[in-house]
Amino acid sequence: MKYVSILILAFVFVACNNSKEAEIPTAKVKKETFYIDIYEEGEVKAIQSINISSPTISWRYGMLKITQLVDDGKEVEVGDTLVVFDPSEVKKAIVDAESRLEIHKAELERMKAQHQSDLEELNADLEVTNLSQQISKIRFESSTYEANVTKKEIQLNLEKANIALERAQSQIENRKKIQSEEIGQKMLAIRQSQAELNDSYKTMEMLTLTAPTPGIAIIRRNWSSDAKFQIGDQVWSGQPMIELPDLNALKADVNINEVDISKITKGLPVQIRPDAFSDSVYTGSVLSVANLAINKDNRSKIKVFPVEIAINGGKNNLMPGLTVSCRLIIDQIPDVLSIPLEALFREGATDFAYVKSGNSFKKKEIKTGQQNTDFIIVTDGLDEGDLVALTNPFAAEEEAKNEQKQE
């Protein structure tokens, strides 16, 4: 009976061991092209885009206030309304300018009429003075036989008439100059009022921003609030508000750590996988590598280099602003054995793997080569098709032994 119990216990022990071994995850040693790569997260952007900025208007209209705004991410066509600003101040300026213009024009007409009347009066006086001068001249020419005293009196009267005639002529000339200056000033006032009115009408048209090209309207952040623009916000003149990207040419912007930047060159192949739909993979290549490093963020001293990646081919579902995972392929080595990094174990300077042998595993020393994010090359110690454990199959036993030693 005791012998039977021992057999049963032995069977249970073996069964438990086999069950544990069956639970050990494994991976097959593969012989294929090995890729040396770097993974970095980035953001999709347009290679070319049009920035829509608030109009530059005169200070006399006050600040711009948004009363209508396109939905963020909306697809727009040429001529579609993007932004409308509050026109109340501009409308008031138009009414004021029109009123001033009408007043100046009416004053000009009255001024012209008054000038005409003044000149007619001066011309009438000139005619009278001219007649007096002519009479004095005739008397002087007829005074040959008059007494010297009378002759002298007639001569003085002629000189007086000549002076009066010259004065009348001079008054008319001076009056014309003054009138010309007054007309010029009033015309200047009219031109200024007309210019203000034209500027107000032009500004009124500028208060509505439309799409110059088709695209996706991406609303930018307001400098003052650090949030995207919204209805009711006040905007400075010339402030960038909306970006219209060209969706036919997209790129991914990534930041590469200064340790890896020496591996990145222009034209390097890249695989791009959007986080929003990870089942789609796009291809691309490095478009440019920045010459100067920047801080990774405001709180970090880690230096990174901005890298632009051009996305090739069709770009369905890709839109600016999407987060993507970029796999930059540094190099590729054909026909080499590799295993997942989880299958690699180390003791000091020795690398080894647990190779499946029947229902158990054997610890086997291996030699390794280059590695990437997920795999490492095996140069010796394994054969293609071997199954290697992804976790230590003897971890429980080793832990139990360590506990026994401590006891």
CA 156 vs CA 128, 142, 162, 211: distances in Å: 18, 14, 10, 85
Of 3 and 245, the one with more pLDDT = 245
Which residues lie below 8 Å from residue 152, measured CB to CB, with a gap of 6+? none
Rounded to 5 degrees, φ, ψ at 65 are: -125, 125
In this prediction, residue 40 carries a pLDDT of 92
Which residues lie below 8 Å from residue 323, measured CB to CB, with a gap of 6+? 41, 42, 43, 44, 274, 275, 276
In this prediction, residue 246 carries a pLDDT of 81
pLDDT per residue as tens digits for the range 264-295: 999 999 999 998 887 889 999 999 999 999 88
Judged against a pLDDT cut of 50, whether residue 59 lies above it is answered with yes
pLDDT band at 404 (very low <50, low <70, confident <90, very high): low
Judged against a pLDDT cut of 60, whether residue 8 lies above it is answered with no
154 SS3 class:
helix
Which residues lie below 8 Å from residue 86, measured CB to CB, with a gap of 6+? 64, 65, 66, 67, 207
In what helix (H) or strand (E) does residue 363 lie, and over which residues does it extend?
Answer: strand 360-371
Nearest alpha carbon to residue 375 among 23, 33, 24, 22: 33
pLDDT per residue as tens digits for the range 186-236: 999 999 999 999 999 999 999 999 999 888 898 998 888 889 999 999 999
The model's pTM is 0.57
What does pLDDT average to over the chain?
86
User: Rounded CA gap, 54 and 236, in Å?
Assistant: 7
Judged against a pLDDT cut of 90, whether residue 148 lies above it is answered with no
Which residues make beta-bridge pairs with 243? 51, 218
